[in-house]
Amino acid sequence: MLKKLITLVTLATATTAFAGPFDLFLTTLKKDFYFTKSEKGTELNHTVYVTAFGPIGRIFNKDAAATYNDKLNMISIEPSYLDGGMIKSAREIMGPNFDSSKIATIFHEMGHAELDTLIENERDLEDVMLSTFYKTSLKAFYKTHFPNFNPHMVFHEHFGYYRSDLIDFISGEVNEVLTQNGFNRFQNRCFFGQNLKKKLAEGISLEEYQKLLNFKSTDEFYRLKVNPQYIFVRGKDIDLNTAPKAMIAQTHLMFWSYHQAGYNFPISRSDLVKRMNKSNPYARVLKECRTKQWQDFHQKQY
C-alpha cells in the first residue's frame, strides 16, 4: 500500500517538462518499429529509476542487457547503453546489424515496470482492464495450470515475454518488407529481385514503384501472430502450450489491446508498409535506385 501511495504521489507531482531516461530510447524506438504512441513508456520517467549495472549487479546478471528490481522500482542497464543517465537511441543500441534482441530485453524490463507501477495502480482504462482480467480470471488460471509457481510472477513474466516477442516480430516484419522490396539496409543499397521485375512487367507507374510495396498475398492481423510459447520464471521454463489454448489466446489478445492503447503498433503487413512509406529513413536511396530501375526497364522495351 505504501509503495502504491508513493507511486501515485510521484505521478501527481511530476512535471511534463521533465526529460527522463526513457525519452530518447522511446522516440527512436517509434521510428524503427513504427508505433505512434509512447506516453505509456514515458510515464516511467516519473515512477522508475534507471541506473547502470554495478559490479555486484553484474555478478548476478552476467550477460543481461537490462533487469528490473520491483522492490526499488529500478531498471539496471548495461552501462554502454546509457549516456548521461538516459538510455541511448534504439538504433545505437541495435548497432549496424540491427540486433533487436537487446531492444526487446529493455522493452521487456520496461514491461515489468509498467505492470508494477502503472497497471497495478490502474492509472488508465487499459490498466484497469488488464488488472481486472488478472484478478478475476488469469490468477486462478495460473494457479490451476502452473501450481508450482507464484501466479503474480507468472503474470509478470508472461507479460514481459509477450513484449519481447512483439518487438522481435515487428523487427522480423520490417526486415521482410525491406528484403522483398530489394533493399539491403545493412549495406544501404538496393538490389533487383524477382518481385520487383514482376511489378515492372505488370506496368506499375514510376510514382508507385518509388514506394515500398506489400508483396504478401494475405493480410493477417498481427494480434493473432504474437504468441510466445515459453516464459522463464525463477530459473525454470514454463511451456504455455501445456495450458488450455483458448485462455492463453485470450490473454495474448488482452496484452495486445493494452499495447495498442499505449503504443499503437502496426496491426497488419499492409498497415506496416503504409507506415513505413510515411516515415522511411531509406526513402531517398530507395527513390534513386527505383527510378533508375524503372527507367532502365522501360528503355529496354523500346
Residue with cell string 525491406: 178
Closest CA relative to residue 140, chosen from 297, 260, 251: 251
Residue 50: how many CB atoms within 10 A of its CB?
Answer: 24
What would the mean pLDDT of 269-288 be, rounded to a whole number? Answer: 94
- From CA 139, how far away is CA 124, in angstroms rounded? 21
Is residue 12's pLDDT more than 50? no
186 vs 63, which has greater pLDDT?
186
Closest CA relative to residue 162, chosen from 86, 257, 24: 257
Residue 280: predicted pLDDT: 87
* Averaged pLDDT of the chain: 91
Is residue 7's pLDDT more than 50? no
Residue-wise pLDDT tens digits, 215-227: 998 999 999 999 9
Amino acid at 146: F
Residues sharing a CB contact under 8 Å with residue 13, sequence separation 6 or more, in sequence order: none
Three-state DSSP at 230 gives strand
Is residue 298's pLDDT more than 80? yes
Residue-wise pLDDT tens digits, 87-106: 999 999 999 999 999 999 99
1 vs 54, which has greater pLDDT?
54
Residue-wise pLDDT tens digits, 138-150: 999 999 999 999 9
Amino acid at 17: A
